[in-house]
Amino acid sequence: MKLVSVDKLEPGMVVSENVYTLDDRLVITRGSILDDKDIERIRSFSLYNIFVDEERKTVEPKVERALENLSYSERLKTTEEFIRFKQHIEENAERLEESFRMLANDSMPLDVDKLTEPVYHLFVEAGGTAGVFDMLHNLRDNSDAVYMHSLNVSLISNTLATWMRLPDDMIHLATAAGLLHDIGKMLLPSEILNKKDRLTPYEQKVMNEHVVKGYELVRVKPIDDHIKNSILMHHEKRDGSGFPFHIKGEKIDEVASIVTVANVYDNLTSRRVYREAMCPFTVIAQFEEEGLQKYEPNAIMTFLSNIVNTFIANRVKLSNGKTGEIIFVNPEHLSRPVVKCGEEFIDLSKSRGLYIEAIV
Ligand SMILES: [Fe+2]
Q: 185 CA distance to ligand 1 centroid (A)?
A: 8
The reply to whether 314 falls in a domain is no
Q: What's the gap in Å between 175 CA and the centre of ligand 1?
A: 15
Q: How many CB atoms lie within 10 A of CB 350?
A: 11
145 CA distance to ligand 1 middle (Å): 12
Residue 358: DSSP 8-state: E
Last residue within a domain, chosen from 19, 43, 61: 61
Is residue 327 a part of any domain in this protein?
A: no
Q: Are residues 122 and 265 in the same domain?
A: yes
Q: Which one of 14, 31, 61 terminates a domain?
A: 61
| 153 CB-contact burial (10 Å; exposed 0-12 / middle 13-18 / buried 19+) | buried
User: If DSSP codes are grouped into helix, strand and coil, which group holds residue 321?
Assistant: coil
Distance from residue 36's CA to the centre of ligand 1 (Å) = 37
Peptide bond just before 244 cis, omega within 30 deg: yes
Domain boundary at 277, 309, 344, which?
277
Tell how far CA 339 is from the center of its chain.
Answer: 23
- Residue 18, in any domain of the structure: yes
Distances (CA, A) of 64 to 35, 69, 130, 139: 11, 10, 19, 20
In whole angstroms, give the CA distance from residue 59 to residue 34: 9
Residue 147 has φ and ψ, to the nearest 5°, of -70, -45
- pLDDT tens digits, the chain, 360 residues: what are they? 888 888 889 888 988 888 887 777 777 877 888 888 788 888 887 788 888 988 887 765 544 444 556 777 777 888 888 899 999 998 999 899 899 999 988 888 899 999 999 999 999 888 888 788 888 888 866 556 788 899 999 999 999 999 999 999 999 999 999 999 999 999 999 899 888 888 999 999 999 999 999 999 999 999 999 999 999 999 999 999 999 999 998 899 999 999 999 999 999 998 877 778 889 999 999 999 988 899 999 999 999 989 988 888 888 999 999 999 998 888 889 999 999 998 999 999 998 889 999 888
In a domain, 342, yes or no: no
> Radius of gyration (Cα) for the chain, nearest Å?
21
Would you say residue 263 lies in a domain?
Answer: yes
- The H or E element spanning position 346 is strand 344-347
In a domain, 349, yes or no: no
Query: Does residue 102 fall inside a structural domain?
Result: yes
Question: What range defines the domain where residue 27 resides?
Answer: 1-61
Expressed in angstroms and rounded, the spacing between residue 107 Cα and the centre of ligand 1 is: 23
Residues near 93 by Cβ (< 8 Å), separated by ≥ 6?
A: 145, 147, 148, 151
